[in-house]
Structure 1
Amino acid sequence: MNNLSVHMRICAANVSDSDVDSRQAAVSTLATSWKKEKGLLNIVSTVVDIAQSLGGDGFPSLALGEKVQKAIQKKSSSYLYEERPLDVSVCAGMAALSVINNAPSTNVWTIQDVYATALWSALSFQPVLEAERRENLRQEILKAAFRRSITSANLARERRNVPDPLGLEITINESNEVDSNFNAAIASTIESLRHNATLDREELDFLWWAQLARSRLLKRQLSSISEPTRIVASGIEGAEILRRLPCDVHREIVLRTLDDNPELSLEELLLEIAEDREQLCSVLTDSYIIDYPTIFPLLNSICTNNISMPGAYVKRPVSEWGERALLEASFVRMMRHGVSKI
């Protein structure tokens, strides 16, 4: 929260100590509340509200506005979010930073990872804001979410050292009943072997898929598929193999057939993949895609032909669309399986 006083200048040119103190208290309240949330859909809905307040005109949703207003009123009873809506984006943004700024786990997908991934996906699709101070806040959160997500993905692929089993102890009581610490003695060894084997399987499956010169999803040779369709389809296909968010190497493999890399808006991209949209949609059946276009703008557009979301008009290279397909589809897969071990 070191930058809170800086970002408060988004709301007003003159900011008092009491303004900063009340907002800092609100940030702490919001962060504490959001860290306790366990429901995936509630987390994603919260991120949608945060992202919308950080982008566009900055006016928050009713739910987020009232939540931030209640938190601020604990120290500043006269505050109303309708009169100072940008306070909501500042407090919500700084609270989101507080949530995701902790060390990622090496083998468990946590709620902090959900927040970070959803923020990364939503904010990276938004267009750049003209208001410099608001854009600085948005970029600070986007970069933090990106770093957290990438670090988590890399840590998840680290193999563990396999410890030797503990000393086996066997006891026989007076009734000749045998007891031992066998399970405890081998537990750490077996867990490490299982973890490493899971990562090996993911790696082998992904590399085997990468050797194919054919799209499993579109059932055609890659050379016969247009570049935009080929790259987006590869992102969607590759995501189904991964057990965590993609690393750099996964993105590089998805983009292995990249050639011209033209820049396309979302509408232009949909025109390019029009002939294959039905087949692409056949694997995009999760309700999250339809319910949360802010988080899954590309997959939502493929399924619904919706191009009304902010950022749709921005021309992006095909490589970025492929990376986004991989990110969004990976996130959908992880939401499907829930917060759990790798």
Structure 2
Amino acid sequence: MDKIAVHMRISGVAVSDSDVDSRRAAATSLATSWGKEKQVSTIVSKAADVAEALGGDGTPSPTLGGEIQKAIQKKAPSFLYEERPLDVSVCAGMAMVSMLGASPGAGGWSIPDVYATALWSALAYQPALAADRRENLRREVLDAAARWSATVAEKARERINVPDPSDVEITIDGNNVTNNFKKAMADTVEALSRNAALDREELDFLWWAQLGRSRLLKKQLSAITEPTRIVTAGIEGARMLRRLPCEVHREIVLRTLDQDPELDLPEMLVAIGEDRAVLSGALIKNYVVAHPTVFPLLHALVTGEVDGSGASTKRRVSEWGERALLEAGFARLMSQGAGKL
């Protein structure tokens, strides 16, 4: 929020103290209201709208523009977002940065976790902007989202110390016998269950990696061309995760990487070829189709469409593999919810 006065210079018009105050108040209000949203699909739609406003030509969707206009008008009644559309991206971006400015918890699937992951996926796919001031704002939001998502994925997999059971108390009152056994054991059992679930996820993932075989394509990995092999590994690996993927999962998915060529999205689809039907059949299609800017790779695999400015950007196969892992893991959590830890 400290940089809101700097980012407001994006519009190229004179900025007054009252302008800064009204935008800061709007961003604070938006961060509070957005942080209360509990519908995952609504959160992802909001993140996609914010990412769209931060990239491209900066034109916000009417929904986002109207919402931020209403928030700014509480302090600046004359404001109209059609006249200063870039102010929408400033307020929306700073609201997200504010929301992601706290310390992530260890649950791995909170409201900010969903915002951060959706923003990270959408913004990282966009090409960099030529306008330095706008790119600085976009990059600040992207960096905040990436840091949050990476941190929460690691924290969600930290084993916790198993506490000793509390003292058991048994009370005898005539013919009635009561005890607090369940309460005394609760914290111990919860810690053991969480650690066991993390162990199970880790073992499943490592066993799959050790096999060196694609369960989807029913081939040894060595028999699959590199672009298809790496993207397939990302999609398959995501099916075993109970939370968002962390660094070690990306390293394992990329373990067979060799040449790491650069391909744009149309070239990647050509490289995958007929295997696209099998891969798309394993995906959670409803969210992928509904949010193409958050799931650009999976959306292309499902629909064959390669719309969007990011489609022409050449990326290394390693980046496509990491994206496949992130997008498939995120779509799975959206559909099925977080696995029990």
Residues 238-275 of structure 1, C-alpha deviation per residue, up to 9 Å, x if partnerless? Answer: 00011111111110100011000000000000000012
State how far apart, in whole Å, the 2-side matches of 1:169 and 1:111 are: 39
Give percent identity, aligned residues only.
62
**Counterpart for residue 266 of structure 1:** 265
8 A contact 2:108–2:244 mirrored in 1:
no
Q: Shift of the alpha carbon at 1:187? A: 0.2
Alignment of 1:60-79 (within 5 A): 60-79=60-79
**Counterpart for residue 310 of structure 1:** 309
Alignment of 1:28-43 (within 5 A): 28-43=28-43
Runs of 4+ in 1 over 4 A off after TM superposition: none
**Counterpart for residue 148 of structure 1:** 148
**Counterpart for residue 44 of structure 1:** 44
State how far apart, in whole Å, the 1-side matches of 2:338 and 2:140 are: 26
Letter in 2 for 1:11: S
State how far apart, in whole Å, the 1-side matches of 2:141 and 2:161 are: 34
State how far apart, in whole Å, the 1-side matches of 2:114 and 2:101 are: 13
**Counterpart for residue 180 of structure 1:** 179
Q: Which runs of 5+ in 1 are unaligned?
A: none
**Counterpart for residue 323 of structure 2:** 324
What is the DSSP-based 3-state SS (H/G/I as helix, E as strand, rest coil) of the residue aligned with 1:78?
Answer: coil
State how far apart, in whole Å, the 2-side matches of 1:121 and 1:239 are: 15
State how far apart, in whole Å, the 2-side matches of 1:338 and 1:206 are: 19
Alignment of 1:104-143 (within 5 A): 104-143=104-143
**Counterpart for residue 287 of structure 1:** 286
Residues 183-235 of structure 1, C-alpha deviation per residue, up to 9 Å, x if partnerless? Answer: 11000000000000000000000000000121001001111110000000000
What is the DSSP-based 3-state SS (H/G/I as helix, E as strand, rest coil) of the residue aligned with 2:331?
Answer: helix
Query: Alpha carbons of 1:144 and 1:215: their partners in 2 closer, same or farther (altered >3 Å)?
Result: same
What is the DSSP-based 3-state SS (H/G/I as helix, E as strand, rest coil) of the residue aligned with 2:107?
Answer: coil
Q: Which runs of 5+ in 2 are unaligned?
A: none
**Counterpart for residue 237 of structure 2:** 238
What is the DSSP-based 3-state SS (H/G/I as helix, E as strand, rest coil) of the residue aligned with 2:49?
Answer: helix
State how far apart, in whole Å, the 2-side matches of 1:108 and 1:182 are: 30
Matched, 1:96 2:92: no
8 A contact 1:108–1:340 mirrored in 2:
no
State how far apart, in whole Å, the 1-side matches of 2:238 and 2:189 are: 28
8 A contact 2:242–2:340 mirrored in 1:
no
Over the aligned positions, Cα root-mean-square deviation in angstroms equals 1.0
State how far apart, in whole Å, the 1-side matches of 2:284 and 2:142 are: 28
State how far apart, in whole Å, the 1-side matches of 2:23 and 2:340 are: 36
Query: Alpha carbons of 1:196 and 1:49: their partners in 2 closer, same or farther (altered >3 Å)?
Result: same
Query: Alpha carbons of 1:177 and 1:108: their partners in 2 closer, same or farther (altered >3 Å)?
Result: farther
TM-score, normalized by length of structure 1? 0.98
State how far apart, in whole Å, the 2-side matches of 1:284 and 1:238 are: 12
**Counterpart for residue 213 of structure 1:** 212
Letter in 2 for 1:137: L
State the number of aligned residues.
Answer: 341
Query: Alpha carbons of 1:103 and 1:307: their partners in 2 closer, same or farther (altered >3 Å)?
Result: same
TM-score, normalized by length of structure 2? 0.98
State how far apart, in whole Å, the 1-side matches of 2:114 and 2:105 are: 12
Matched, 1:55 2:31: no
Query: Alpha carbons of 1:108 and 1:250: their partners in 2 closer, same or farther (altered >3 Å)?
Result: closer
State how far apart, in whole Å, the 2-side matches of 1:239 and 1:196 are: 20
What is the DSSP-based 3-state SS (H/G/I as helix, E as strand, rest coil) of the residue aligned with 2:311?
Answer: coil
Letter in 2 for 1:3: K
Query: Alpha carbons of 1:36 and 1:285: their partners in 2 closer, same or farther (altered >3 Å)?
Result: closer
State how far apart, in whole Å, the 1-side matches of 2:117 and 2:276 are: 25
Residues 155-193 of structure 1, C-alpha deviation per residue, up to 9 Å, x if partnerless? Answer: 01100100000000000112x111111011000000000
8 A contact 1:107–1:341 mirrored in 2:
no
Q: Shift of the alpha carbon at 1:340? A: 7.3
Answer with 51-60 or 212-221: which moved more. Answer: 212-221
**Counterpart for residue 165 of structure 2:** 165
Query: Alpha carbons of 1:207 and 1:340: their partners in 2 closer, same or farther (altered >3 Å)?
Result: closer
State how far apart, in whole Å, the 2-side matches of 1:255 and 1:284 are: 20
Letter in 2 for 1:221: Q
Letter in 1 for 2:335: R
What is the DSSP-based 3-state SS (H/G/I as helix, E as strand, rest coil) of the residue aligned with 1:178?
Answer: strand
Q: Shift of the alpha carbon at 1:12? A: 2.9
